[in-house]
């Protein structure tokens, strides 16, 4: 049975939701530099998490 | 060149040739290589990683790594997973024949999502968001039907508060039982025709590997 456009979009959204919001978190990190000067340190698992994920992380730390 | 980690696997054959397999702490990390200057937020990269995840799951069950794990050497990958490697290996061995399923349902008592403009502190906003999320519930009748129709097929199951508007049922199901899932979903739809839900499977070990949900 052929999938409708809506079903295809829903499947893609669900797939991306799983990618960004599920699974074990392994710390990633990056330092944004210009020349030899480190400007910003980013914890990638936090930068890429959505706000709801941050909420869960905060709860766990309490 | 950097590598984007996708999953943790028991055997090299579970990974190759779909992705690169990197031996680390008695496990194998699946990964794809990307240019150093390619941003992780690139849409095409996200879709590529998601599709690779799906292809890997066709080969064998693995532990999904949340998107964002980038590394430049096997030693770096090893250093990031060594602490939990024994636990993850045991989890993989226990659930070798299983996959995850998720059922998302709209909460019956939806909480108003807090308005971020009403807060002067980001922490207060996050706390309000968290409280709204945990206040979301689904009816006991629907929960019982889910557990009767879908849960009966599963080895392990749990309910998770996702956000202010939805709740999620996550479960581990034997691959051999996946064909029974669609009829079970149809049965649930007939039993609770007024409650919209999204049932999807198979997924790698995500919720059941995530310490946040233990």
**ipTM of the modeled complex:** 0.72
SS (H, E, C) A6-45: HHHHHHHHHHHHHHHHCCECCCCEEEEEECCEEEEEEEHH
Cβ atoms B62, B204 nearer than 8 A: yes
Name the residue range of residue A41's domain: 24-62
Residue A61 lies in a domain: yes
Between vectors from CA B212 to CA B124 and to CA B125, what angle results, nearest 5°? 10
Per-residue confidence band for A44, with pLDDT thresholds at 50, 70 and 90: very low
Cα separations (Å) of B55 from A15, A25, B7, B134? 13, 21, 12, 34
The more confident residue out of B110 and B205 is B205
Cβ–Cβ contacts within 10 Å for residue B119, how many?
A: 15
Angle formed by the axes of helices A5-21 and B43-59, nearest 10°: 90
pLDDT in tens, B147-162: 999 999 999 999 988 7
Residues B17-47: pLDDT tens digits? Answer: 999 999 999 999 999 999 988 888 788 888 8
Q: Report the DSSP beta bridge partners of residue B119.
A: none
Contact between residue B208 and residue B170 where contact means Cβ atoms under 8 Å apart: yes
Instruction: Give chain B positions within 8 Å (CB) of A22.
Output: 64, 66, 203, 206-207, 210
Task: Count how many domains chain A has.
Answer: 1
pTM above 0.80, yes or no: no
What confidence score (pLDDT) does residue A48 get? 41
* Residue A38 confidence (pLDDT) above 90: no
Length of chain A measured in residues: 62
Q: Is the pLDDT of residue A26 over 90?
A: no
**B113 pLDDT exceeds 80?**
no
- Of the listed ranges B43-52, B174-183, B205-214, the least confidently predicted one is B205-214
Extents of the domains making up chain B: 2-94, 98-213
> What CATH number matches the domain at B98-213, 3.30.110, 2.60.40, 1.10.287, 3.30.70?
3.30.70
Cβ-in-10-Å burial (0-12, 13-18, 19+) of B178 comes to: middle
Assigned domain for A19 exists: no
* Cβ–Cβ under 8 Å, residues B107 and B171: no
User: For residues B110 and B126, which has the higher predicted lDDT (pLDDT)?
Assistant: B126
pLDDT reported for residue A1:
55
Half-sphere exposure of B206 (CA within 13 A, CB side): 25
Residue A21 is predicted with a pLDDT of: 80
Segment B121-127 shows an average pLDDT of: 76
Higher-confidence position of B7 and A14? B7
pLDDT per residue as tens digits for the range B54-75: 999 999 999 999 888 889 999 9
Q: State the DSSP H helix or E strand holding residue B23, giving kind and residue range, or none if neither.
A: strand B20-24
Q: Chain B: which residues have CB within 8 Å of chain A?
A: 5, 7-8, 40-41, 46-47, 49-50, 53-54, 63-71, 80-81, 84, 88, 102, 123, 126-127, 129-130, 133, 162-163, 198, 200, 203-204, 206-207, 209-212
> In this predicted model, what pLDDT tens digit does every residue of B194-208 receive, in sequence order?
888 889 999 999 999
The answer, yes or no, to whether residue A60 has pLDDT greater than 70, is no
Name the nearest CA neighbour of B203 among B106, B105, B104, B98.
B98
Cα R_g (chain A), whole angstroms = 17
Taking contacts as CB-CB distances below 8 angstroms, the residues of chain A near B123 are 58
In contact, B132 and B114? CB cutoff 8 Å: yes
């Amino acid at each position: 049975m052929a999938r409708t456009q809506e079903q295809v979009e829903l499947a893609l959204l669900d797939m991306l939701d799983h990618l960004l919001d599920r699974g074990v978190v392994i710390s990633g990190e990056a330092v944004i530099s210009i020349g030899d000067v480190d400007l910003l340190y980013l914890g990638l698992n936090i930068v890429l998490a959505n706000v709801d994920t941050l909420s869960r992380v905060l709860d766990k730390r309490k | 060149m950097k590598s984007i980690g996708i999953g943790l696997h028991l055997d090299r054959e579970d990974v190759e040739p779909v992705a690169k397999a990197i031996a680390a702490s008695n496990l194998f990390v699946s990964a794809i290589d990307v240019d150093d200057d390619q941003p992780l937020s690139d849409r095409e990269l996200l879709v590529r990683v998601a599709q690779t995840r799906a292809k890997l799951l066709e080969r064998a069950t693995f532990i999904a790594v949340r998107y964002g794990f980038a590394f430049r050497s096997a030693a770096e990958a090893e250093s990031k997973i060594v602490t939990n490697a024994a636990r993850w290996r045991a989890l993989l061995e226990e659930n070798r024949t299983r996959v995850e399923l998720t059922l998302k349902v709209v909460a019956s008592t939806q909480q108003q999502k807090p308005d971020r403009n009403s807060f002067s502190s980001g922490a207060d906003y996050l706390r309000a968001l968290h409280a709204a999320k945990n206040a979301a519930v689904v009816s006991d009748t629907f929960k019982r039907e889910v557990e009767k129709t879908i849960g009966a097929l599963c080895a392990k199951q749990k309910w998770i508060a996702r956000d202010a508007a939805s709740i999620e049922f996550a479960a581990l199901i034997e691959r051999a039982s996946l064909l029974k899932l669609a009829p079970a979903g149809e049965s649930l739809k007939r039993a609770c025709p007024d409650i919209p839900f999204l049932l999807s499977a198979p997924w790698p070990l995500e919720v059941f590997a995530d310490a946040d949900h233990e």
